[in-house]
Each structure stands twice: as C-alpha cells, then as structure tokens.
Amino acid sequence: MIEANKRVLGYEASVDRQNEYLFNEVKGVLAGIRQEIESGTLVNISTLAQAEVFADITEMAQHALDENYISVASVLASAALEDYLKTKARANALEVDESDMSKVISALKRIGALKGPQAKLVQSFVPIRNKSFHANWEKIEPAEVASLIAFVRTSIIGENA
C-alpha cells in the first residue's frame, strides 16, 4: 500500500485523479486478498500483516543504524521484538500485557513456545531492550543493535511470512 501511494503521488494528475488511482490500487489489493481467502491460500491475514509491520520496522531500524542513529535503531528493533513476544504469549492465552520482557520470555519457555537456543538468544536481547527503553544510549553498541535487527528479520519475520 505504501508503494502504491508513493507511485500514485508521482503521477502528474489532480488530487482527485490521484485518489481515484489509489482507490483502484486498493480495490485490486483487496480483490487479491479476497481471492486468496476464498481459495484457502491465505491462512491468517493478521499474521501476514504483523510480518509486514515487523519488516517495515526492521527496515527503518536498519536505515537508522546505517545512518548512525543507533538509539533510534535500538528502540525500533527492541519494540518489534517485545511486541512479537507479547503477541505470541497472548496467542497462547498468557496474561503478559504488564510484564517485562524477561517474564514474557520465561512464560513462553514454560509452555514450550520458546525452546533451547532460541530462548537463550531471545533472553540475550533483554539488556539492549532495557538500555534502549531507559535511554542509556551511551551503553548501546552498534554491533548488538545489528544482531537484534538480524534476529528480528530472520526469526520473527521469517516465522510469520
């Protein structure tokens, strides 16, 4: 949708005409989704939407890191990871909305939703999350942010794509 909007805004046309083009783009996307739902190829639209959001957030985080805005990159990537974990916990009927990330990870491990090496790796991101959300910018290293972004991209987005 973002790409369609960018494309339409590039057209040399009146605003009404641009809106008409964008409306037609949206109609086409929705028709495609409807066809996928009816044919059974679209299993869970919210999972796909979540993966798209995570992809957008990690893309913004990577861009911020590339531009040396380490604090911005760390907050974006940390937020994506924490939101993913809480969403996964809620999907497993766990009450975690007011829990910190370590408690969410523990709850997911307890029910087997996070196992072995993945659980340890996710737990290793708790310190960067805490430094990011408590504005301890000077303690954040670009390498740990890059590692977090890579994890979100490969593990979370890949799982939901």
- Tens digits of residue pLDDT in 64-105: 999 999 999 999 999 999 988 998 898 889 988 888 899 999
Q: What confidence score (pLDDT) does residue 145 get?
A: 96
Let me know how long the chain is.
161
Question: What's the CA gap between 79 and 64, in Å, rounded?
Answer: 14
Q: What confidence score (pLDDT) does residue 156 get?
A: 72
Q: What confidence score (pLDDT) does residue 161 get?
A: 47
Per-residue tokens: 122: 């996710």
Residues 6+ apart with CB under 8 A from 22: 4, 5, 8
Task: Kindly report the pTM of this predicted structure.
Answer: 0.67
Q: Residue ranges of the domains in the chain?
A: 2-39, 45-160
In the predicted model, residues of the chain with pLDDT beneath 50 are 161
- Please report, in angstroms and rounded to a whole number, the separation of the first and last CA atoms in the chain: 17
In CATH, which of 1.10.3470, 1.10.10, 1.10.1760, 1.20.120 is domain 45-160?
A: 1.20.120
Per-residue tokens: 63: 């861009």
Half-sphere exposure of 103 (CA within 13 A, CB side): 7
Q: What confidence score (pLDDT) does residue 124 get?
A: 94
